[in-house]
Chain A
Amino acid sequence: MEQAIRCEGLSKAFGRTRALQGLELAVPAGAVFGFLGPNGAGKTTTMRLLAGLARPSAGSAWICGQKVRAGSREIARLVGYLPEEPAFYGWMRPREFLDYVARLFGFGPAERQRRVEMVLETVGLQDVAGRRISGLSRGMRQRLGLAQALVHGPPVLLLDEPASALDPIGRREILEFIRALAPECTVFFSTHILADVERICDQVAVIANGRLVVQARTEELLRRYALPVFEVEVEPGQGVALQRWLQELGAAGWLLGVSHAADGNSARILCREVSEARQALIAGLAQASLPITRLELVRPSLEEVFVRLVQGEVDK
């Protein structure tokens, strides 16, 4: 499969701090690719290197077969980049800013107008296109950031936390929009919201401490790394009893971890092995006479896989 983004031994050091250490990555063309990692893992550094805003200390990267060089105009035409905190000229209006960006790409007046109106409509900013950018909300600025990344119709989009500043409805709209961009456009986006990745990404790469921990298809990652999870729910008001019982389970050999839901009436129990855990749970719950409403073997979440993978890297 053709690769939209390729990194070979990509490294970046800031003085003694090694932000990125030999990153090897291959992003297939047309994919929506989730780039996951805890804060300080090297996600933004990778984005900046790919956007040509920084130079690698070692290694190289290619976008659509073109080697990435800082300040390269060829790369700029191939990439649409949305930084984590997009900055604009507050005195400009969204339509003016997009026109300015389109001018930088050398489009003629008619083509500029067509593209600007198209992206304004795409991100839902037509109604505020004549207002000063300084007066726009953070969510609107994020949409404008997405619009400026799209105005030249790039084959690759680099989005650094594109939905983190949006409210739930805005986030869903943007995610659906990003999903719809593929397969014509390859989307490489970093986020700390794992539910977003699960919702729209075909593939995922996890980095920690500047190193790639794993790269796989989202489903494969869940299958390969996820451990069985039981979800147990008790009747309202029985949360304290449930927590007490879970504490008593602490020493069981089949148990790997427990996470409580916010309401206190349910919990997720991470197990080493399904059959032993099932038997122990049913017997234990019956013995404790807990009024359970549900005991279910559920699909493990990407968050559980992520925490496990990152924790493993941190422990190294």
Chain B
Amino acid sequence: MSALWTVWRKEMLEAVRSRRLLGVTATLFVFGAASPLLARLTPQILQLLPGAEAFAALVPEPSLADAVAQYLKNQSQFGILLAILTSMGAVVQEKERGTAAMVLCKPLPRWAFIAGKFMAIGASFLLALAVGAVAGYYYSEVLFGGLGLGRWLAANVLLLTWLLVHAAMTLLFSTLGRSQLVAGGGGFGMLAVLGLLGSVPGLQRWLPAALLGWAARLCLGGGGPAWPALVVSLALTFLSLIGACVALERQEI
């Protein structure tokens, strides 16, 4: 277990020193804060745009639902981009640079090498999303009100779960691939594949993206949970990590 914490500690230190943690946190904070603001101010912004005044009248009165939808859309779009970009180099870059050979000839179990990295990615996104969620909650409450704190937290946990599914799959590609490009391609490829599968009738409720719909329903009420999507998401995360561990175990460094 100490090896796992050692790798996690090193990964977190690297995230801080390379300003990766700062970048992820700043991005999710900005979009977390800006989403309710944009939802509230969209009609006013349209009125200020020359030629767009007529559209302002067509825009319905902004509501909490708009703020939540805006928040989930922005955080999921930028979050997924960051999750794939920060995970794609995690293993393959260490193999390319030769640092993997330096540390894996030490008594470091290879599963701990993978798990420590994933835990650090998870911790980074937990922190960044928490900061974004606090900002989003504050402005949503100030501008609209009626957002339950517990439901908001649960919605953000679902968003985090969805991001970590993709981080885990990208980590698997980072272990299997020979370059960061391949790993990134694999991560974005899986995003596209799952998106396409979502268009198959009846399949959507099983896919990780259904967690985002569940998160919206949690905040606004109405509709039920998406337990199948949660189970599939956790299974995909677990299997991706197991796959990465097995692959690294079999590889020559």
Contact = CB atoms under 8 A, between A and B. Distances in A.
- Using C-beta atoms within 8 Å of the partner chain, give the interface range for chain A: 20 to 34
A106 B9 CA distance: 14
Given A53-B253, A100-B10, A106-B2, A87 B107 contact: no
B53 interface: no
A87 B106 CA distance: 14
A79 interface: yes
A85 interface: yes
Contacts of B18: 91
* Most chain A CB atoms below 10 A, which of B106, B110, B249: B106
Contacts of B110: 71
Majority secondary structure of chain A interface residues (helix, strand, loop or mixed): loop
Nearest to A54: B252
A51 B98 contact: no
B112 to A, nearest CB: 9
Contacts of B106: 76, 101, 104-105
B17 A85 contact: no
B252 A70 contact: yes
A77 B106 CA distance: 7
A88 interface: yes
B203 interface: no
A52 interface: yes
Given A76-B107, A77-B107, A87 B6 contact: no
Nearest to A77: B107
B3 A104 contact: yes
A53 B105 contact: yes
A89 B2 contact: no
A71 B104 contact: yes
11 contacts: A48-B252, A51-B105, A73-B109, A76-B106, A76-B108, A87-B97, A88-B99, A89-B14, A105-B107, A106-B3, A148-B102
A48 B2 CA distance: 26
Given A53-B253, A86-B98, A91-B14, A81 B105 contact: yes
Interface string A75-106: 01101010101111101000010001101111
B98 A87 contact: yes
Contacts of A96: 13
B3 A53 contact: no
A73 B249 CA distance: 13
Contacts of B3: 104, 106
A53 B252 contact: yes
A83 B101 contact: yes
Contacts of B235: none
Contacts of B98: 83, 85-87
A55 interface: yes
B231 interface: no
B192 interface: no
B41 interface: no
A55 B249 CA distance: 11
A73 B107 CA distance: 4
Interface string B77-117: 00000000000000000000111011111111110000000
